[in-house]
Amino acid sequence: MVTMQFYKYYLDYKIYAFVIMPNHFHAIIQPGAEFNISVIMNKIKGNFGNKYNRIVGKTGKVWQSRFYDEGLRDSR
């Protein structure tokens, strides 16, 4: 997804994996030092939603309203 790649550079985070579902997505993201996960998710979801709505000629929300974060303890 171009939006995730752009903000990866701009907000300096690592993305290890993602999957896009019909109205939400799952991602494994490690924030950098400057921006927290809330800022990262807000930028990704907002930018993509605006682009998508422009392309399909719609308005309103594309993704679910908020995000749920959960820390990973190890690689398993």
Q: Do residues 18 and 27 make contact, with C-beta atoms less than 8 angstroms apart?
A: yes
Query: Looking at the predicted structure, is the pLDDT value of residue 74 above 80?
Result: no
Computed over its alpha carbons, how large is the radius of gyration of the chain? 13
Query: Looking at the predicted structure, is the pLDDT value of residue 1 above 80?
Result: no
**Would you state the pLDDT for residue 48?**
85
Question: Tens digit of pLDDT for each residue in 9-66?
Answer: 889 999 999 998 887 788 899 999 999 999 998 888 888 888 889 999 999 888 777 7
Query: CB neighbours of 37 closer than 8 A, spacing ≥ 6?
Result: 29, 31, 67, 69
47 φ/ψ angles, rounded to the nearest 5 degrees? -65, -45
